A and B are shown apart, each in its own frame.
Chain A
Amino acid sequence: MSKGNIVVLALIIVVFGFGLWVLLPLQGERLGRTGLHLGLDLVGGVHLVYEADFKDVDPDDQSAVMERALITIQNRIDKYGVAEPVIQQVGNDRIMVQLPGFTDIDAAKSLVQQTGFLEFREVEFKPDGNPATLADYLGQTDLQFYETGDIDDRVFVGQNDLGKDETYGFLKYEDGAYHFEDAAGNTVAADALSAYGASVAWVKARGDSGTPLTGDLLADAYLTTTQSGQLQIAIEWDDTGTVIFDQIAARLYDPLGTSGAYTLKHVLGIFLDNTLLSAPKVNSSKFEGKGVISGSFTLAEAEELTNLLKSGSLPMPLKQPPLFEEKVSATLGARFVEMSWLAGLIGIILVMVFMLAYYRLPGLVASLALVFYGVIMLTLFKLIPVTLSLAGIGGFIVSIGMAVDANVLIFERLKEELRSGRTLGAAIETGFKRAWSAIWDSNVTTVIVCIILYWLGSSIVASAPVMGFALTLGIGVVVSMFTAVVVTRTLLRFVIHGGMVRHLAWFNVYRGKQ
């Protein structure tokens, strides 16, 4: 037996051993990889695709804004403890979020899509000392601001039937003119808002330099409780925020402190995404960078708000509803995992039985090569790692059937060569050589198709089934060319030159009987 063949055989055994070492134990950690990476359709989870609303964003800034939005969403999700989330930009203006194992789609959506824009506002007062209202602005024919120095937008907040604060409209400046918007942000005529005339106008709270106080100036936020057990969010400002906050406090504070009555004159409004969260009275002129946001929160709401404040605001809103949303329940997934392994196992066993029955000894060798193929594929899946979706596992199982194709090609050749009277050794070498061009040409077309499929899958919403199928089938075709040719040939040479073959019947060839 040639020395080269023994070296190759030894290498194959080493690779096989390495594969088993990586794979077993199945859930164990090897080379930094733990277990097989199962896709969202198997472990359950949420898949969302949003379109960014670039209405208020300069076209030149869009890519930078997009980048910041991805980081913000990543931060928010990280704090929720989702294992291995995928947050990606798709095309120019889309954001794709995949949360494997997280099946509460409503919570996921609010986590991702909340703009989370925190700002502080104060009430606008008329010269007569009364707060400016929506009715005051609706009654004007020529727009005149009461707070003449502030020409920015106004938010109008009234009280609903339950006595809770609610935002009813906006006065906004856009494209060189002012217009009214309703609570949902649609441009409306002035009379559409007349029912909410009592709503009070709020303007941005600004420091002496005119910089408005917003959530961007926060350094930290965390959940605390008051002495009476009420939830509140403690906030800390960064250096700029500290200065501005104290300047505003100095202007608004009530010299009477806590003993003074609650009046809108001394109130600072805390707005999240244009909703008034709370309007505490400012009782001190100096805060030195600290403050609290109180309100009637549930624990979940308070945690979500804290998370939003820490992760910062989205630099642009996301269009509603999402372009694509999918929720896969975890219970369905668990069943699929077991079933698909069973399908794979049964498939591989049936193929082996067939190969053994039809090709005898070479069939046995092909079966060994198939086991090698299965182990190498799973090892690659674990090491790369390949995210296995249901269709991805399907692709792997289909590739098992195709993996023996090269062997079938070779063995058919082998039989022909044996029938034509060649010796075993010569027949094997010729069989492999002659079959090669067919193996190569036929696999190239499958790889071409897999590449196109992968592109199709990734192009719109990153469809896990399509990409998974294309990837596993593609890898399978490439690996099977190696296992079917190199592994099978090496094993066959070993068996034959070892003098173990006594009858051609072991090859299912009966020479001379015809």
Chain B
Amino acid sequence: MFDIIGKRFWYFLISGAVILIGIISLAIFGLPAGIEFGSGSIVTVKFVADVSQSDLEGELTDLGYGNALVQQTQPAGSFLIRTERLDEAQAAALKDDLNAVFGAFDGEPSSQDVSPMIASETRTNAVIAVAIAALGVLLYVTWAFRRMPRPFHYGTCAIIALVHDALVVLGIFSILGAILHWEINLMFITGILAVIGYSVNNTVVIFDRIRENLTKGISANFETVVNNSLVETLSRSINTSLTTFIVVLALLLFVGANIQNFVIVLIIGIIAGTFSSVCIAPSLLLVWDNKEWGRFLFWRKSNPAKA
């Protein structure tokens, strides 16, 4: 049988590295807040002509919108232009100026305008939602595994896996934000929460199998129980991730545009979530049970007495 769990410290290393890079990016670039969190205006335009992003950015700077952020979307010639809050006259003038330089729009532009008051309340509620979701998941997982020894361990490991997924997505988005001018908005938070739900779902299935195998008493050694459970559920874990991945990919390729960032969150989240469910959460459970934190910190060879 495969030895999945034996390589647990490699998993920690991989995740640690990805998260570290993400945290460094977060520290340097931060997360650019979209208008729902930072207030301002967004105009979604599509030019008939094939306008390049750098030309558009240059023109906006000339027009006095040097702070404007431009994100290219699908199909070619489509852009999201994020500016400070514009009043009606300013918005109309901006559209006229852009038409004068780049030609007509293909269809009417869409626009969105958010006041600082709404933005700050949205921030607060997003934080509350994420906190309640995490707490809800912790309580439920703890409750679902209440008949196991140490149910709290299961809940905590599921939460750590969940925080892991959120950190990976946040870190990668911070990098994308710096390179492609992507901003986080309410749909980003929605994506994060969907990923959390999805990842916990996977983790729970694996924990469920550990619970079953423990009850069956297939081995006195916890490490063997965890590893067998992982192997038994591996094809399920991969297949479910694959089917979800397939549909999300279809969503990205065909719908893209306005929910592009959201779909990217889901894709990164599905990969991170599958990894954390299979590799991180059960490994943590085992490390906690074996109390082998020291082994990780000092990178000692495995202790034969424990194995």
Contacts and interface: CB of A to CB of B under 8 A. Distances in A.
Contacts of A444: 140, 144
Contacts of B110: 326-329, 332
Contact of A332 (B107, B125, B144, B186): B107
A82 interface: no
Contacts of B115: 321-324
Contacts of A309: none
Contact of A402 (B198, B251, B254): B198
A359 to B, nearest CB: 9
Interface in B148-186: 186
Contacts of B242: 354
Nearest to B109: A329
Nearest to B256: A339
A445 B137 contact: yes
A261 interface: no
A136 interface: no
Interface in B13-30: none
B204 A398 contact: no
Contacts of A343: 247, 250-251, 253-255
B55 interface: no
Interface string B181-204: 000001101100110111011101
A405 B240 contact: yes
B94 interface: no
A339 B78 CA distance: 16
A135 to B, nearest CB: 33
B187 A391 contact: yes
Contact of B266 (A323, A398, A461, A466): A398
Contacts of A452: 129, 132-133, 136, 193
Contacts of A461: 118, 122
A394 B263 contact: yes
A168 interface: no
A452 B200 CA distance: 15
A460 B122 contact: yes
Interface stretch (A12-20, A174-182, A434-442, A497-505): A434-442
A473 B194 contact: yes
B255 A339 contact: yes
A241 B248 CA distance: 64
B257 interface: yes
A445 B197 contact: yes
B280 interface: no
Contacts of A400: 247
Nearest to B116: A323
A453 B188 CA distance: 12
A326 B111 contact: yes
B247 A49 contact: no
Nearest to A325: B113
Contacts of A394: 251, 255, 259, 262-263
A18 to B, nearest CB: 26
Nearest to A358: B239
Interface in B258-299: 258-259, 262-263, 266
Interface stretch (A30-38, A156-164, A408-416): A408-416
A408 B239 contact: yes
Interface string A483-494: 000000000000
Given A444-B140, A448-B137, A438 B245 contact: no
B146 to A, nearest CB: 12
B254 A346 contact: yes
Give the size range of A's interface with the partner: 35 or more
A404 B239 CA distance: 9
A228 B113 CA distance: 45
A139 B220 CA distance: 100
B258 A41 contact: yes
A431 B39 CA distance: 52
Interface string A306-348: 0000000000000001111111111110001001101110111
Given A324-B114, A408-B240, A445-B140, A391 B190 contact: yes
A449 B133 contact: yes
**Most A C-beta atoms less than 10 A away, residue of B122, B190, B242:** B190
Contacts of A445: 137, 140-141, 197, 200-201, 204
B88 interface: yes
B190 to A, nearest CB: 5
Contacts of A441: 144, 204-205, 208
Nearest to A437: B208
A455 B186 CA distance: 13
Contacts of A346: 250, 254
B219 to A, nearest CB: 17
B253 to A, nearest CB: 7
A438 B141 contact: no
A383 B88 CA distance: 39
B133 A448 contact: yes
Contact of A327 (B111, B122, B262): B111
Contacts of B202: 442
B22 to A, nearest CB: 22
A394 B108 CA distance: 24
B117 interface: yes
A329 B108 contact: yes
A171 B307 CA distance: 89
Contacts of A466: 186-187, 189-190
Contacts of B111: 105, 325-327
A457 interface: yes
A213 B243 CA distance: 69
Interface string A361-396: 000000000000000000000000000001101100
Nearest to B106: A331
B246 interface: yes
B248 A398 contact: yes
Contacts of A106: 88
Contacts of B189: 456, 466
B191 to A, nearest CB: 9
A211 B109 CA distance: 49
14 contacts: A327-B110, A328-B110, A331-B106, A339-B255, A347-B250, A351-B246, A391-B262, A401-B245, A408-B239, A408-B240, A409-B240, A448-B140, A449-B137, A452-B129
Interface of B: 36, 44, 46, 87-88, 106-115, 117-118, 121-122, 125-126, 128-129, 132-133, 136-137, 140-141, 144, 186-187, 189-190, 193-194, 196-198, 200-202, 204-205, 208-209, 212, 232-233, 235-236, 239-240, 242-248, 250-251, 253-259, 262-263, 266
Given A323-B118, A401-B244, 7 more contacts: A323-B114, A347-B246, A402-B243, A449-B197, A452-B193, A456-B126, A456-B189
Q: What are the 8 closest A-B residue pairs judged by CB atoms, nearest first? A: A331-B107, A449-B197, A401-B244, A347-B247, A343-B254, A329-B108, A401-B247, A347-B250
